[in-house]
Homo-oligomer: A and B are copies of this chain.
Amino acid sequence: MALSGGIDLGGTKIQAAVIEADGGVAGQSRRPTPTTGGPADVVEAIAGALREAAAEAGVETSALDGVGVGSPGVVDDDAGTVAGARNLPDWQGTFDVRTALEQACGTRVSLGNDVQVATDAEFALGAGRQYSSLLGVFWGTGVGGGIVLDGRPWTGRDAAGEIGHVVVRQGGALCGCGRRGCMEAYAGRAAMEARARRRYDRGEKTVLFKIMKERGRTRLTSGVWARALEKGDPVARNLLDRAVRALGAGIASSQNLLDVEAIVIGGGLGIRLGQPYVDRIREAMMPHLFNDESPPAIELAALGDLGGAIGASLLISAATPASR
């Protein structure tokens, strides 16, 4: 049976999967993204994770039809390179991922944008299967977006889908990108953590950092936010309310422009907080939705944490279930 590999290369973790022709998962492996070293070390970690996933599927990596990689930064599949991936170690320049990874794995390599391949996966195999147009919103450290129109990815001049940098408040909060008022400046986990830290340092009571330490984390992960919410933490609740309002406004703006059939909410926070927060985002969107008599469907991503890796494997196999 034809198998292909998929890699979701994130700033925190590398998720590898080996995928069957019908989209089924034959093997998977996850490891932390190296925080030191450089591109060569990252490629070595990718190859290691892929070898483990292939072993679980009972094959060598060289037996795979190929490996797709969903990557942050500026991805050039023609050249086989990734440039300016600021969340990866020492990756300001341009690095030939394809040559390095093909040598390490003995099979061909295709590259794609991390958010777009995750959107493509939800479209082909996940929550977007019944729609012909959708907007994927990946709510995590930042907020990424992917677009499918008339059944095809829309990537513009290779920089489309930056929904995290849709402006929700002119002159508003400072974003990690250096601009003001971006949706991500309110809803991105990194921005929320920075704001929680400032409030904690000013003496506000919150269990966020206590939970973080108990779990041996150095960041406020999605699980930390979820646990703090469960404990009724007022700072966590307040910052998530604020994030939801920004997501509602930014997603409504995008929908007013695109008028797609469905919005799919994924990403670390989206997956972890799940359906209740998808429902809250829907409510927050409605007051800003122009065509509010015919709102889009809003769905929770169905492929969970594996969506990125599955989507990357589609760069090789274009796997589609018989039902689509």
A residues within 8 Å of B by Cβ? Answer: 133, 145, 147, 149, 154-163, 165-170, 177, 179-182, 245-246, 249-250, 252-254, 256-261, 287-288, 290-291, 294
> Complex formed: what's the CA distance from A260 to B158 in Å?
10
Could you tell me the distance in whole angstroms from the C-beta of A6 to the nearest C-beta in chain B? 25
A161 touches B291 (CB 8 A): no
> Complex formed: what's the CA distance from A166 to B155 in Å?
20
B158 touches A154 (CB 8 A): no
With A165-B256, A245-B170, A252-B167 known as contacts, the answer to whether A149 contacts B154 (CB < 8 A) is: yes
Could you tell me the distance in whole angstroms from the C-beta of A81 to the nearest C-beta in chain B? 17
Give me 18 A-to-B residue pairs in the complex whose CB atoms sit less than 8 angstroms apart, sorted by A's number.
A149-B149, A154-B258, A155-B259, A156-B258, A160-B259, A161-B257, A162-B256, A162-B257, A165-B288, A165-B290, A166-B256, A168-B168, A170-B246, A170-B249, A179-B287, A180-B287, A180-B288, A182-B288
**How many protomers of this protein does the assembly include?**
2
Closest 9 CB pairs of A and B: A156-B259, A160-B259, A162-B256, A165-B290, A159-B291, A166-B253, A167-B249, A159-B259, A162-B290
A288 touches B168 (CB 8 A): no
> Complex formed: what's the CA distance from A254 to B291 in Å?
17
With A169-B169, A246-B170 known as contacts, the answer to whether A259 contacts B157 (CB < 8 A) is: yes
With A259-B155, A260-B156 known as contacts, the answer to whether A169 contacts B166 (CB < 8 A) is: no
The one of B162, B181, B261 in contact with A291, judged by C-beta atoms closer than 8 angstroms, is: B162
Could you tell me the distance in whole angstroms from the C-beta of A29 to the nearest C-beta in chain B? 33
Could you tell me the distance in whole angstroms from the C-beta of A114 to the nearest C-beta in chain B? 16
Could you tell me the distance in whole angstroms from the C-beta of A25 to the nearest C-beta in chain B? 31
